[in-house]
Amino acid sequence: AQISGAGWTAQHPQVTLTTSAQGDQLSLAAGVAQAGKRKLWRHARLQCGLQTAQGWACRQGHLAVDGSPWGALHGDGQVQLRQVGGSGQAMLALRGVQFGSARVQVQSTAAGQWHLTGAGSLPVAGLVRAFTLLPATWQTSGQARWQVRARGASWAKARQIAFELQGSQLQFSSPDGLQAAQGVALQLQGDGVYTGQWHGTARMRWTQGGVLWSPWYWTAPAAAVRIQTRWQQAAKAWQLDQGSIRWPGLGQGGFALYRPTRGGVLRWQIRDMDVAMAPLYANWIKPLAPPGGLAAQLQASGQVHFSVAGEGGLSALKWDLRNAAISSPRGHLAVTGVNSQGAWSRTGKTSDAVLRWQSAELYHIPAGPLHAELVLNPQGFQLQQPFTL
């Protein structure tokens, strides 16, 4: 036998009731269960004492699961079934060392309309291992709390879902120490509606902690980093659109992403980013420079507005740099009043760009204003006319 719904199946479900003078025993078991292409377990069984005074209550149960992404699982649990008005209600509560705790309640009418609520907590290490979020050799720790709500018009199909996941004291480290995080706090919220295909919104807040992803290192600013987007899952692709990111102290802008589910090329866009040059250079560009070199000593200021897109590699770039400056602490290099505008495309036609500065100094040798006009093409650039200095 097999039961299934939208995107899930469970094989060989069994319900066994054993009666005796010492009390009734209920056993719930299922064979291989899958959600999409991911196997949830090879075999699961819940055994407990049954009480039937008010509905069916299966208390002080023991859960055993084999072949799950977490490995073999053991925990305590209970199940309760009862009638509330014209609806049936089921409640499941579980607790185990490997998977934390969970409490799920489902209410359904005879026609199949149902509503589900759930909440619990779980160790992050198990979550990361189950969904292969990081390589298996990395060390992970932390705690996550979750909530979920869902409803549907029939037993086999969900129509709406909303969830929230909060992670605290999140940590990870790679064996070579080049990737690590400590004391990270994140909040992820989302919702979805099914109207022939799934679509909805998702939001994330990063409020605490630091992340090392060599050569970069970032710490959470005093105000939360906020990311939100609309998402859509179709038969051929995952799509993020109308995304926005706000990083206090750095800048803000938009993004989009299109990822085919069966091969194909990942397409992405970063749109209309307004970024301060000082933190952009210090935290994102300078770490790429060779230690001890001139680029590693530079400081930058000003503002840049840019958009960038990729499709199997960088495909387009547009920028507007205003009133920027670059300097080194010992005066080896100083450039002020830098302005530049332009656009480049890997597949498009040629376009114009301009670079200007008010003054420059290289190893204390001064230079006056610069004005250069460029022609950009897919292969690179060339001067439109001799520049003036």
Single-letter amino acid, residue 279? P
For the CA atoms of 343, 344, 349, 351, what is the dihedral angle to 10 degrees?
40
Give 99 or 63, the one with higher predicted confidence.
63
| Mean pLDDT score, 232-248 | 94
Cα–Cα distance list, 359 to 335, 369, 387 (Å): 6, 5, 15
State mean pLDDT over 179-205.
96
Close Cβ partners of 20 (under 8 Å, ≥ 6 residues apart): none
Per-residue model confidence (pLDDT) at position 234: 85
* Across 325-343, average pLDDT: 93
Asked whether residue 100 carries a pLDDT value surpassing 90, the answer given is: no
What pLDDT sits at residue 48? 86
Query: Can you give the pLDDT at residue 5?
Result: 67
pLDDT beyond 80 at 98: no
Q: What's the one-letter identity of residue 160?
A: Q
This prediction has a pTM of 0.85
Every domain of the chain and the residues it spans: 7-97, 265-389
Cα-Cα-Cα-Cα dihedral sign, residues 202, 203, 209, 211: positive
For residue 6, what pLDDT band results from cuts at 50, 70 and 90?
A: low
The residue with tokens 């129509």 is 159
DSSP string, 122-181: EEHHHHHHHTT-S-TTSEEEEEEEEEEEEEESBTTB--EEEEEEEEEEEEEE-TTSSEEE
pLDDT at 7: 66
Comparing 126 with 304, the larger pLDDT belongs to 304
Looking at residue 358, what is its pLDDT? 95
Q: What gap in Å lies between CA 199 and CA 41, rounded to an integer?
A: 28
Please give the pLDDT value at position 28: 85
Confidence label for 331 from pLDDT (cuts 50, 70 and 90): confident
* Among the listed residues 160, 82, 166, 56, the one whose alpha carbon sits nearest the alpha carbon of residue 116: 160
Q: Does residue 179 surpass a pLDDT of 80?
A: yes
Mean pLDDT of 234-248: 94
> Region 98-111: what's the mean pLDDT?
88
pLDDT at 333 exceeding the cut of 70:
yes
* The pLDDT value given to residue 8: 75
pLDDT averaged over every residue in the chain: 90
pLDDT digits (tens, 9 = 90+) for 130-155: 778 899 899 999 999 999 999 998 87
pLDDT for position 53? 76
Residue 80 CA to residue 28 CA, distance in Å, equals 13
Mean pLDDT in residue range 115-142: 90
Per-residue pLDDT for 287 more than 80?
Answer: yes
Give the type of residue at 133.
L
SS3 280: helix
